[in-house]
Amino acid sequence: MSASERAIIAAEAHSAHNYHPLPVVIASAEGAWMTDVEGRRFLDMLAGYSALNFGHGNPRLLDAARAQLDRLTLTSRAFHHDRFAEFCTGLAELCGMEMVLPMNTGAEAVETAVKTARKWGYRVKGVPENLAKIVVAAGNFHGRTTTVISFSTDPEARADYGPYTPGFEIVPYGDLTAMDTAVTAENTVAVLLEPIQGEAGVVVPPPGYLEGVRRITRERNVLFVADEIQSGLGRTGRTFACEHEGVVPDVYVLGKALGGGVVPVSAVVSSREVLGVFRPGEHGSTFGGNPLACAVALEVIAMLRTGEYQRRATELGEHLHRELGLLTGTGAVTSVRGRGLWAGVDIDPALGTGREISERLMERGVLAKDTHGSTIRLAPPLVIGKEDLDWGLEQLRAVLSG
């Protein structure tokens, strides 16, 4: 029995089976490449669902983490620490906002955004108590907490967890007419959207959709909350995916890449009017905004300010989509969606499920992940080299050609 097989059997024996990972056991990684316990190398074409935008073991991020580890890792929010103000100021400036509420995971940040919108609705907008409504989109993925799955349309995420949290209305993604109908001026406090739906298969909305949502929400005094946890921080070729339509939301929800693949860091970023609704004791997190998280996130912010990673995502993304577009002419790929260095690839179901395609890619040294039927997602680290990207695409072509 191999070392990988032993590790997988032990994991399945002693861990809940809430994931179905590919049968590979990673031991080390650098840049866009990972190595398993047997020493086999794999090209990472998933990047931790965008948590690893800057690659594995990025020297700048590891140096920032090591320096902070020698000084201070946690105080809780019971005390101030010397990295907190710098982090909040830097992230607010990057977003063009005024205030930051730091958390840890993306799901926590979404929950925080929901609470923020409701509290703003009651304290600022004047919505009657317990009548606040948030409009969301079908096909969404904002996490797996009890409240978040209450407005999911994915049966796997939602089944057997009721009773569900009320206060949400679901409309088709990309349907501006449905959005216009759902956003009532009186009790609607927010529209919560992914600018590009990642888990749904990297679904890009029709041109003008985000701009239309921004117009509707502004006209009716409703918050536009953009979940940029996967789409933000360079992935699409811009710092935020909303920028592709020239849209600035009222609230950014950030996570994944903000922690540089080193520690979990998330945040809600908005104006003083919106985040100013919180008073001491009304919301919190022991680890949210801890010194280690702030140190790493500050380096992420500094790296994004250079524009280097946004440019790489744009240039390599154009190449990625051009090459994937050629596959649609072969009949093996039925459609390709995405923006920047991010793509959803629909495979002809006759060739296999997304899981089966991912397993065949793994056998050829490429790690990607399926979602929904015969769709696979490609989201390599932004530091990937063009030659490595081409090699990965060559393996995909080989898998699809049989």
Name the residues annotated as catalytic. Answer: 141, 227, 256
Tell me the two tokens of residue 131.
């009548």
**Burial of residue 152 (number of CB atoms within 10 Å: 0-12, 13-18, 19+):** buried
- Asked if 333 and 345 count as a contact pair (C-beta separation under 8 A), the reply is yes
**Dihedral Cα 337, 339, 340, 342, nearest 10 deg:** -50
Tell me the two tokens of residue 13.
């024996």
- Asked if 104 and 281 count as a contact pair (C-beta separation under 8 A), the reply is no
CA distance 355 to 367: 11
